C-alpha cells in the first residue's frame, strides 16, 4: 500500500490536563480518487486542514484534538472548472471552490462518519450515517480502546447499485449512478424526515426507502432514530481508521 506519512498538523493546545489527540487514519481502497473533508461542530475552531486528496491505495493521518465533535465524508468526481478554476465535486461538494471546505458542510447525498471524541481518555462515540443519503462505501475501525461496542462500523454495501430511479443521482454520462438521495431530501415529507407528527421515535419508523439503505449497510443509520444498531463507542483513548471502499 502506498502511504503518505504526512500528519496534517492538527495538534492543538488545550487548557485541560491529560488531554491527548486521537489519530484518525484515512485509507482509500476505491478504484478512484476520493477527497475527504472535515467539519468541526460545537462552535469549536475548524481543523487546520478541512479537505485533502486521497488517491487509490493512499493513506493519510490526522491528529484530532479532544474533546472533538464533528464529521468526515468523502467527495467524489471532483475537478477544477475549466472556465473559473473553481474546485467542484459531483458528490459531497461543500461549495468552497477549493479542496479545503473551510467550515462548510457537504451537500447531500453523502455517506457521513460522525464522531464525538472525549477528553481524558473518556468514552468516544462514532457512527456512519446515511440519513443524508449515500455516495461512497466507508468503514470506521477503532485501534485500541475498550468496551462491548468498541468494534468496526462498516457500510461496505454499494447502495448506488440498488438505488431507486427516483432517488438516483447520475454522473455526467447520464447513466451511471454516483449517489443515492434520502427520501427526505427527495420528497420533503414528514414521515421521511421525522418532522411534524413524525418527530419522535414512537411515530418516525423505518420506511420502504430507508430499508433499502439498511439492507445494504446494517450498521449504518438509515433514518433519524436508527440508534439501536448504529451507534458505537470506545473508552480508553482509541485511535481510528476510516476506510473508503472497505
3-state helix, strand, coil in the chain (%, to 5): 10, 35, 55
Best CA proximity match to 101, nearest among 110, 109, 92, 113 = 92
Check whether 215 has a pLDDT greater than 50.
yes
For residue 235, is pLDDT > 50? yes
Rounded to whole angstroms, the Cα distance separating 146 from 28 reads: 26
Check residue 9 and give its pLDDT. 38
pLDDT of residue 18: 42
Give CA separation, 246 vs 184, 220, 243, in Å. Answer: 27, 14, 5
Portion of the chain with pLDDT greater than 90, in percent: 80
Could you tell me if 232 and 17 are in contact, meaning their C-beta atoms sit under 8 angstroms apart?
Answer: no
Higher-confidence position of 34 and 172 = 34
Measure the CA–CA gap between 37 and 53, rounded to whole angstroms.
9
Domains, the chain, ordered by start: 22-158+218-244 (2.60.110.10)
Cell of 165: 430511479
Span 59-107, pLDDT tens digits: 999 999 889 999 999 999 999 987 888 999 999 999 999 999 999 999 9
Task: Return the pLDDT at 121.
Answer: 79
Query: What pLDDT digit, counting tens, does each position of 53-70 carry?
Result: 999 999 999 999 889 999
- pLDDT tens-digit profile of 122-150? 899 999 999 999 999 999 999 999 999 99
Please state the pTM of the whole predicted model. 0.89
Mean pLDDT computed over 182-207? 96
CB of 26 closer than 8 Å to CB of 63: no
b/e string for 228-239 if b means 16 or more Cβ within 10 A?
Answer: eebebbbeebbb
Percent of all residues in the chain with a pLDDT value above 70, rounded to a whole number: 92
Amino acid at each position: 500500500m502506498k502511504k503518505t506519512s504526512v500528519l496534517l498538523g492538527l495538534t492543538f493546545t488545550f487548557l485541560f490536563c491529560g488531554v491527548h489527540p486521537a489519530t484518525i487514519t484515512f485509507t482509500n481502497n476505491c478504484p478512484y480518487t476520493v477527497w475527504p473533508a472535515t467539519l468541526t461542530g460545537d462552535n469549536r475552531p475548524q481543523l487546520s486542514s478541512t479537505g485533502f486528496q486521497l488517491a487509490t491505495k493512499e493513506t493519510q493521518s490526522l491528529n484530532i484534538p479532544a474533546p472533538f465533535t464533528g464529521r468526515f465524508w468523502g467527495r467524489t468526481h471532483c475537478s477544477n472548472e475549466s472556465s473559473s478554476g473553481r474546485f467542484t465535486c459531483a458528490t459531497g461538494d461543500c461549495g468552497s471552490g477549493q479542496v479545503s471546505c473551510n467550515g462548510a458542510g457537504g451537500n447531500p447525498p453523502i455517506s457521513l462518519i460522525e464522531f464525538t471524541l472525549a477528553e481524558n481518555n473518556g468514552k468516544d462515540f462514532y457512527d456512519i450515517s446515511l440519513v443524508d443519503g449515500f455516495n461512497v462505501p466507508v468503514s470506521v475501525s477503532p485501534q485500541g480502546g475498550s468496551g462491548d461496542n468498541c468494534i468496526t462500523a462498516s457500510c461496505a454495501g454499494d447502495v448506488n447499485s440498488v438505488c431507486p430511479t427516483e432517488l438516483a443521482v447520475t454522473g455526467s454520462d447520464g447513466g451511471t449512478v454516483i449517489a443515492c438521495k434520502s427520501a427526505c431530501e427527495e420528497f420533503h415529507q414528514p414521515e421521511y424526515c421525522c418532522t411534524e407528527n413524525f418527530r419522535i421515535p414512537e411515530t418516525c419508523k423505518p420506511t420502504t426507502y430507508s430499508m433499502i439503505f439498511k439492507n445494504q449497510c446494517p450498521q449504518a443509520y438509515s433514518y433519524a432514530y436508527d440508534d439501536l444498531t448504529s451507534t458505537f463507542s470506545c473508552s480508553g483513548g482509541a485511535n481510528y481508521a476510516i476506510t473508503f471502499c472497505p
